Amino acid sequence: MMTMILSETNCYDIQAVNVMLICLHIFNYVTMILAFLKVNDVFFFPAMKGYRLTNLGYDYLALNQFFKSEQLESLGTMIGAGKESDVYIAAAGARCGRSSDGSEGLLFDFPNEGDSVVVKFHRLGRTSFRKVKEKRDYHQHRSSCSWLYLDRLASRREFVMMQSLRSNGIAVPIPYTHNRNAVVMSYIADSLPLYRILPSILNSNESAFARSLYYQAKNILERIASLGLVHGDLNEFNLMVSDLDPKENTEISNPKLVLIDFPQMISRDHKLANT
């Protein structure tokens, strides 16, 4: 009887040791992965014990989803960086703009596989939370909030806003899809930001070009107002002039003003609409 008890005890001890060895192996493997992620700036190690996802890690998660769903084929170089976003050129995937149920993007043209598109990563963390709280309403009046979560809300808001503006005839990029903090939209070829247009062009032909842009900008604001919205921050940095001569910034074939950024757009009934 005593021999049987000792035998069973040894069996249990061996099982316990095996479980501990497996747990130790898993722990070492996870530690090795986290160390690799830390070296590549995907995770941040705060003073307290634990891990926090970085902006770069959040970008990777969004890109992984874009590639898995064939929204994107590849990511290219950065073509713009602002106070609240980074913008990259990319190649469209086979299903860019199409959702799994076929319901997304029905109002707009789809890009062909390999066509140039734009990926915009929101970076609200570059500004203070106080400024975001003053000028944005999608934080739901929270006293504190994760920057990554605010980036996600900003991405969703921009995508929905672009769909609405585009379907109402306002010149904005075509919204294809969004995930986490990233929005995929159409690439505006042969274009420049308004602030980079040479004064000599604006003043040419008795300022005919400048007048054309003025009336287009006025029309954009009027159309936005007709939807019950206020842009809040219209300036030369969030307007693109398309159909420029691709070789020289000296000729305009058919100038068209395109609105590319509207993070502070709010309802006319909003308390900040008149400020």
Q: Are 190 and 243 in contact (CB under 8 A)?
A: yes
Place of tokens 């980036």: 151
φ/ψ of 255, rounded to 5, equals -60, 135
Nearest-angstrom CA–CA distance, 155 and 184: 10
Count the neighbouring beta carbons within 10 Å of the beta carbon of residue 231: 18
Q: Which is nearest to 152 in space by CA: 185, 123, 174, 172?
A: 123
Q: Which is nearest to 83 in space by CA: 45, 135, 34?
A: 135
Tokens of 158: 């921009």
Place of tokens 């939209």: 185
* Catalytic residue ranges: 233
Nearest-angstrom CA–CA distance, 86 and 80: 6
